[in-house]
Structure 1
Amino acid sequence: MYTTGTAFLEALYEAGISYIFANLGSDHPAIIESLARAKKDNKELPTVITCPHEFVALSAAHGYAQATGEPQTVMVHVECGTQNLGGAIHNASRSRVPVLIFAGASPYTQEGEKIGSRNEFIHWIQDVRDQRGIVRGYTKYDNEIRTGSNVKQLVYRSLQIAKSEPAGPVYLMGPREVMEEKTEPITLKTDLWQPISPEAIAPQQLKQLINDLTAAKNPLIVTSYLGRNIEAVKELVYLSEKLSIPVIESIPHHLNFPHNHPMHCGSQWNVSDQNPILAEADFVLVIDSDVPWIQMLNKPSEEATVYYIDVDPLKEEMPLWYIPSKRFLKANSYVALQQINEYIKHHCKIDQKAIFKRRKKYSKIHIEQMEEKRHKEQSRTDVITPEYVVACVREVIDKENTIILNEAITNYPAVSNHIRLDIPGSYYGSGAGSLGWNGGAAIGIKLAKPEKTIVSLTGDGSYLFSVPSTVHWMANKYKTPFLTVILNNAGWKAPKMSTLGVHPRGVASETGEYWVNFDPISDLAKVAEAAGNAYPINVEKHEEMKGALQKGLNIVEEGRSVVINVKIPHVYAKDETHIKWEQYNYLTVDNK
């Protein structure tokens, strides 16, 4: 029988969906039956990836979309599975990745009036007043499938909205009776349901922007996720080189600009001191960045002219957000940069002496920064530093064929500043704030780019949040091996640093009690081995690091995941970062 469930699956396939990351339940008999019939009849449908945890399912779809720009489907069980998506839907929303989430719903009949009527006790327990409302704060669109007659239209519309900028997750739900309903097959032209066209800068505003840019003595570009479109990176490089404009990445979660380029002037996170390049800039072009700087700690001068370009320049989903700017321009970064570059190429007279002077100045700064980074990477005999670990990773990987994932949290800057990659599409972060993205994302990116070696750099807290038992069971079953390197400081360092940032001389600082340590320490690598046959390696001495990495990469190449658990200074150790935060906040408190 051709049902709504059959039509739904057909619509996904016709729309180009490759994978359904599924955690199935009692609401999905129509889906399961349709999948089974399709397999029996050799009918092509999206491949089902069984996901024992919903957070991992959505993280995998998130990673796939980051690597390809194409949404996949996540299928979960009624309102329980919807809630189990947890922080992963926050990540997908804030990172602006397209994904279609489908959940069943409890049957709406209970006496056998229709096929699929209630026949299990949970159908009463899982019936809630507003299932869609659980995720409404994070989705661009939500709807309920009420008939098979227009289910394909709903799927196409959902994906059209998900892919239109700003991209994001969409949510459909369907009760059992509706999904079991007999319906008639229909064929629709999917090319009539394309996402909206990318937006451009209006001509008058473009002219004004370029006039201000070319008049500036110390222009600067700040970005975070421009690299979502690989072609946009080329345009940014062209603009930077044409006018010798330095580029700073603020909490980057894509490769936005080649790290070894002389105009690359580093990345910044929650730094406690003022970035001198940002402070001296008289013109700042912010393009694709939610948080270009922390205004309380590190910002441009009051005299600087700021332009803001983004697909969502007002951050309408963020209740408190403002970056005072001369213009907020809603535009696709690739299109906007093309416009800027074409205008400069054909309509601007360039002061070559000023440009040469800037190039010399910022190239020198770049060289000095690289030297400072090399100094931080030097091996120490007493401890393994995060910078040293990242430098070792950089030295052993094949940069042409490796994708790096960064969810190292308090060691996020160590990864982003020391990995030194140059190829767009070779670096990703979650782009959001719910930890655990790294594991599922590695699976999703490996499915999208099977020819690439995936290396995930994560903290121990982020590793635990990723549900490693599910992650490595999936990686083993679906042949998506990857290398995980855990920067293990035996706790959550971020809450400790947040506390010091607000109460630098408080009782917590005095007593050293933050309730964030993971003592006694678990053998985290063994978790992955038990769950998914991952090869476990523990590293406690700096001289073991490179050998462990090379061994791990060789094993991954053979088709088996590897987890390298690296012991770095304990979360309670009073390291340089801790001291720097204390010094900064003492000064702030005293000044107040």
Structure 2
Amino acid sequence: MNKYTTSTAFLEALQEAGVSYVFSNFGSDHPAIIEALAEAKKKGKDFPKVITCPHEMVALSAAHGYALVTGKPQAVLVHVECGTQNLGAAIHNAWKGRIPVIIFAGTSPFTQEGELLGSRNEFIHWIQDVPDQRGIVRGYTKYDNEIRTGTNVKQMVHRAFQIAQSSPQGPVYLVGAREVMEEETVPVTINNELWKPVAPRALPPKDAKAIIEDLYRAKRPLVVTSYLGKNKRAVGELVKFCEKIAIPVLESVPSHMNFPADSSLHCGYQWNTDKQNKLLAEADFILVLDSDVPWIPLKNKPSKDAIIYYIDEDPLKEGMPLWYIPSKRFFAADAETALQQLNDILSHSTFDKGQIEKRRAWVETYHQQLQKKQLDAEKYQEEYITPEYLLACIREICDENTVVINELISNYQASYTHLNRNEPGSILGSGAGGLGWNGGASIGVKLADPSKTVINLTGDGSYMFSVPSTVQWISRRYNAPFLTVIFNNRGWKSPKLSTLGVHPEGIANETNEFFVDFTPHADLSKIAEASGGAYARKVEDPANVKNALQEALKAVRSGRSAVLDVYLPSIKEEGQMAKKKDFASL
């Protein structure tokens, strides 16, 4: 009793680093941590709050969502290599989405005859002893290490946080055996001011001037971005930059609100578009800011004569074996800092006002055309619920205090187009491709800012990936209610779209058989009702959409999560509708 152990020091280090929550799935490797937490609770000592997570995917997704809102990394504790492997898609998301988080896993004890406290006493300790546990996630972390003694555990933890929070941010992974975590040690005092992340990088002043010089000569400049809005302050700098000389903005596979949708300079979104974007084709100057995939060269790319500058916190994309966007210059720089530099130069520069106003008028016309197409697509249909109409109805219930969690995938481009978000931080995506992120992320966002109304948009496939029983149980236990809207087409639409992208006239299209149909159909909202006491409702009639959204939102604001299972045309029905349309046009 009352021992100061490696585990005590480890938890103290998390507290010192500003961690609010430990998203945990404890196992046989954590007795010392559980004991230290229990002792702290008994004594009234402040440690991060434990959030019990019955699935690791949800745990890391929640830490991911929390970091998106606050910028502060949280801790995720998992069970040896089994729990580590269960992180799966979630650690892919944290790595590709550049999310700071510290993950800790125990390892099997390294003694078996009682030589040290914590020695092996369960059969599983032999089964879970693997040659390279850290290697499981090494390709998805910025840093991994093993805690070997309690004497320097705090320094290791603070170094891990420093690495996780330095640009480009990302997850870090620590392990420790039971014997080490049980070891008695002495307290160490840490000065947090000495462990700050690396300061943001700027453009070389000479090169910043060169960018503006090329911009001065451009007739059709364009900005392309994807995740600049991760830093809310960068959005204001981008608006200032573009408004000054009327530069249109194109968002490519956005994972944040990067530029206000209602600005006349906002010129739409692109995802897996199979048509050439007019702005990209006509641009003679393109500034790419924080984007992994600014365009897909196979079908949609800039002119070969366009001058391209690439500014990104990770401009070489070293974690992507095949990646190249030929550009005049690449800069490893913080978007906010770089835009401040460019804005400062612009404030002392003289441009042709006539040319700027002519371009502004052209861009405004383009923006208005996009808005008209958007409104036309949102029209109410009596026969079935369209994604565009559903999104327009969701837009109506969103206010300035709403955060949208977006994992719609096949309706991804439509979601950004029809939600029209204008506030930084008002819509969030994973920035990656590990499906099932939405549920845990919604919990993390709600915990990060309980004042926000959280609306989670997901397809039926990604909803099932999210481990909804775990998500809804956590939501109820920790008072983190949110609204989930399932865009249910009774199957995986994305593999169908991928197949049609390669074999548009293939046999799968001819027979309307893509092997992605979810038959028999599950009653998805009832999962949430059974496991989390959520308000659950299936919506099949277009006439009921608005009322259902209002009732569900009312439930959430009363403290109860809600799930609307909204039936869109199924994958099978879509294929049949397309064939009828083709036949009618003959």
Deviates more, 1:563-572 or 1:114-123: 563-572
Show CA shifts across 1:413-466 (max 9, x none): 111100011110101011000101000000000000110000011100010000
Equivalent position of 2:72 in the other structure: 70
Query: What is the one-letter code of the residue matched to 2:443?
Result: I
Alignment of 1:507-518 (within 5 A): 507-518=507-518
- Normalising by structure 2, report the TM-score: 0.98
Q: Who is 1:586 aligned against? A: none
Aligned mates of 2:578, 2:400 — CA distance in 1:
36
Deviations 1:341-372 (A, max 9, x none): 001102x1111111111111111111111111
SS of 2:224's partner is strand
Counterpart position of 1:357: 358
Query: What is the match of residue 471 of structure 1?
Result: 471
Task: Provide the residue aligned with 1:384 in structure 2.
Answer: 385
- Matched residue type, 2:530: A
Closer/same/farther in 2, CA of residues 457 and 481 from structure 1, 3 Å limit: same
Identity score, percent:
61
Structural mapping, 1:155-234, within 5 Å: 155-234=157-236
Supply the AA of the counterpart residue of 2:301.
K
Preserved CA contact (<8 Å) 2:512 2:575: no
1:576 and 1:296 map into 2 onto residues whose CA distance is 29
RMSD over aligned Cα atoms = 1.1
Cα shift readout 1:142-186 (whole Å, capped 9, x = no counterpart): 000000000000000000000000000000000000000000011
Q: Secondary structure at the match of 1:455?
A: strand
The 3 A distance-change label for structure 1 pair 578 and 359 is farther
- 1:211-258 deviation digits (Å, cap 9, x = unpaired): 111210000000000000000000000011001000010011100000
| Amino acid across the alignment from 1:103 | A
Query: What amino acid is the match of 2:81?
Result: E
Q: 1:280-299 counterparts in 2 under 5 A?
A: 280-299=282-301
> Are positions 1:313 and 2:311 aligned together?
no
Report the alpha carbon displacement of residue 574 of structure 1 after superposing the two structures with TM. 3.5
CA change 1:391–1:575 in 2 (3 A) is: farther
Deviation at 1:202, TM superposition (A): 0.4
Change (3 A) 1:490 1:507: same
Provide structure 2 residue ranges, at least 5 long, that are not aligned to the other structure: none
Distance 2:366 2:405 in 1: 27
Change (3 A) 1:229 1:160: same
Q: Distance in 1 between matches of 2:229 and 2:574?
A: 36
Amino acid at match of 1:150: N
Tell me the distance in 2 between the aligned counterparts of 1:473 and 1:214. 56
Number of the residue aligned with 1:100: 102
Q: Using the alignment, how far apart are the partners of 1:85 and 1:122 within structure 2?
A: 20
The CA distance in 2 between the partners of 1:286 and 1:575, in whole Å, is 37
Q: Which residue of 2 aligns with 1:39?
A: 41
CA distance in 2, matches of 1:555, 1:506: 46
AA in 2 matched with 1:12 = L
- Is the contact made by 1:396 and 1:546 (CA closer than 8 Å) also made in structure 2? no
Q: Distance in 2 between matches of 1:387 and 1:509?
A: 24
How far is the alpha carbon of 1:577 from its aligned partner?
11
- Aligned equivalents of 1:299, 1:499: Cα separation in 2: 22
Instruction: Provide the secondary structure at the position in 2 that maps to 1:67.
Output: helix
| Aligned equivalent of 1:524 | 524
Cα deviation 1:279-337 (Å, max 9, x = unaligned): 10000100000000111011111111110000000100100000010010110000000
Give the letter aligned to residue 242 of structure 2. S
Assess, with a 3 A threshold, how the Cα gap between structure 1 residues 275 and 567 changes in structure 2: closer, same or farther.
Answer: same
* Aligned amino acid, residue 425 of structure 2: G
1:373-522 maps to which residues of 2 (within 5 A)?
373-397=374-398, 399-522=399-522
Q: Of 300, 303, 310, which residue of structure 2 is paired with 1:301?
A: 303
Equivalences, count: 578
* Partner SS, residue 572 of structure 2: coil
Q: Does 1:87 align with 2:89?
A: yes
Report the AA paired with residue 393 of structure 2. C
Q: Say whether the 8 Å CA contact 1:539–1:566 is kept in structure 2.
A: yes
C-alpha distance in structure 1 between counterparts of 2:88 and 2:103, whole Å: 13
The corresponding residue for 1:336 is 338
Alpha-carbon distance in structure 1 between the residues aligned to 2:406 and 2:412: 7
- Name the counterpart of 1:540: 540
Aligned to 1:585: none
Whether the 8 Å contact between 1:220 and 1:284 is mirrored in structure 2 is yes
- Give the residue type in structure 2 aligned to 1:478: Y
Counterpart Cα distance in 2 of 1:535 and 1:22: 27
| Corresponding residue SS for 1:573 | helix
| Preserved CA contact (<8 Å) 1:4 1:148 | yes
Aligned match of 2:123: 121
The answer to whether the Cα contact below 8 Å between 1:7 and 1:152 also exists between their aligned partners in 2 is yes
For residues 376-429 of structure 1, give each alpha carbon's deviation from its aligned partner in whole angstroms, at most 9, with x where no partner exists.
0000111100000000001122x2110011101101111110001111010101
Q: Distance in 1 between matches of 2:81 and 2:300?
A: 42
Q: Which amino acid aligns with 1:463?
A: Y
Report the counterpart of residue 247 of structure 2 in structure 1: 245
- Matches of 2:299 and 2:465, distance apart in 1: 29
Give secondary structure in 1 for the equivalent of 2:139.
coil
SS at match of 1:48: strand
CA shift, 1:575, in A, is 5.9
Q: Say if 1:405 and 1:438, in contact at 8 Å, map to a contact too.
A: yes
* 2:413 partner letter: P
For 1:216 and 1:541, locate their aligned partners in 2 and report how far apart those are by CA, in whole Å: 51
Q: For the Cα contact (< 8 Å) 1:3–1:181, is it kept in 2?
A: yes
1:366 matched residue in structure 2: 367
Instruction: Name structure 1 gaps, 5 residues minimum.
Output: 583-592
- After TM superposition, the structure 1 stretch with the greater mean CA deviation from structure 2, 466-475 or 505-514, is 505-514
**Cα separation, 2, equivalents of 1:194 and 1:154:** 14
What letter matches 1:332 in structure 2?
D
Q: Measure the CA separation in 2 of the matches of 1:532 and 1:522.
A: 17
Check the 8 A contact 2:469/2:527 in 1, yes or no.
yes
Task: Check 1:455–1:81 CA distance in 2 against 1; reply closer, same or farther (3 A cut).
Answer: same
CA distance in structure 2 between the partners assigned to 1:274 and 1:429 by the alignment: 25
* AA aligned opposite 1:35: L
Q: What is the SS of the residue equivalent to 1:85?
A: helix
* TM-score, with structure 1 as normaliser: 0.97
SS, match of residue 106 in structure 2 = strand
Cα distance in 1 for residues equivalent to 2:464 and 2:412: 17
